[in-house]
């Protein structure tokens, strides 16, 4: 089976359409979305006039049999994550004012109000996003794959943590083993290409390159679709040959001044 895998669309309908053209040209059998369907941060993106959250949600809803929740999706509908053992959310989290939430977060969570615009979702889009799972496991016969936006237990990427070192991933690899998963696919970090974490090494597959996955537990990061500050792209994965390909989109990275 040939899988088209994308992540971090962030309302960018223009780059999503480009991704669709790539998948159609390669005749993929199934398209998988790894979260952050919506969420537009002013300093990081430049497509203000073309962003369209509802068109993006409609396409994901109609096309992707597997789609999971990202942290920006949660924020867009003001919902707290189910898997949040590293931070205890008060039940009235979004009833609290921003200053109170920021103080309670103690720097452990991403806070969005300073630079994120409303996703302008209609009711149908809100309902779809609200029903998304935080992770899914799919059986491909000889092995299973875990799909999530980020690492376990922060599978939605809501914590202000970016994994840099393999030592931080012990819980994630244990969760993969508990679910009998050989591989796990995520987004969130907007890498330039596909970044692969093993239990003892990091492998980088640059945009335009291919790599055949070894028969050992792996956590793979897919590049972002959105035209952000890193070069964007998508991935195609062959479940039979286990070859992953990182494909660039025809867009120059956006730059901004801090």
pLDDT of residue 211: 98
Residue in the block written with tokens 């949660």: 74
Among candidate residues 183, 194, 252, 256, the one with its CA nearest the CA of residue 224? 194
Name the burial class of residue 257, with classes exposed (0-12), middle (13-18) and buried (19+) by CB atoms within 10 angstroms of its CB. Answer: exposed
Instruction: Quick: pLDDT tens for 90-149.
Output: 999 999 999 999 999 999 999 999 899 999 999 999 999 999 999 999 999 999 999 999
Q: Which fold has domain 2-248?
A: Purple Acid Phosphatase; chain A, domain 2 (3.60.21)
Per-residue model confidence as pLDDT tens digits over 67-89: 999 999 999 999 999 998 889 99
Give me the residues paired with residue 186 across strands. 221
pLDDT at 163: 86
Is the pTM higher than 0.95? The answer reads: yes
172: which residues sit within 8 A by CB, 6+ positions away?
A: 151, 152, 184, 219
Is the pLDDT reported for residue 218 higher than 80?
yes
Structure tokens at 207: 């945009």
Measure CA 31 to chain center: 14
Q: pLDDT tens across 24-41, in order?
A: 999 999 999 999 999 999
Range list of β-strands (E), 158-250: 183-186, 194-197, 202-205, 210-212, 218-221, 233-238, 243-248
């Amino acid at each position: 089976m040939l899988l088209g895998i994308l992540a971090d669309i962030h309302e960018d309908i223009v780059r999503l359409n480009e991704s669709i053209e790539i998948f159609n040209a390669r005749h993929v059998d199934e398209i998988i979305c790894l979260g952050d369907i919506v969420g537009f941060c002013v300093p990081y993106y430049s497509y203000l006039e073309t962003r369209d959250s509802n068109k993006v949600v409609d396409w994901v809803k109609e096309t992707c049999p597997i789609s999971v929740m990202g942290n920006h999706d949660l924020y867009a509908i003001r919902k707290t994550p189910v898997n949040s053992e590293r931070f205890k959310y008060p039940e009235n989290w979004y009833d609290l004012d921003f200053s109170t939430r920021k103080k309670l977060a103690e720097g452990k969570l991403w806070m969005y109000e300073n630079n994120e615009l409303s996703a302008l979702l209609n009711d149908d889009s809100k309902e779809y996003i609200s029903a998304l799972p935080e992770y899914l496991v799919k059986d491909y016969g000889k092995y299973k794959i875990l799909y999530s936006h980020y690492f376990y237990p922060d599978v939605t990427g809501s914590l202000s943590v970016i994994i840099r070192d393999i030592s931080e991933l012990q819980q994630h690899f244990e969760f993969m083993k508990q679910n009998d998963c050989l591989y796990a696919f995520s987004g969130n970090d907007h890498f330039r290409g596909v970044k692969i974490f093993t239990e003892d090494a990091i492998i980088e597959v640059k945009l335009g390159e291919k790599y055949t996955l070894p028969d050992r537990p792996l956590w793979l990061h897919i590049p972002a679709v959105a035209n952000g500050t890193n070069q964007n792209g998508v991935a195609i994965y062959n479940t039979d040959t286990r070859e992953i390909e990182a494909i660039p989109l025809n867009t120059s990275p956006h730059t901004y001044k801090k």
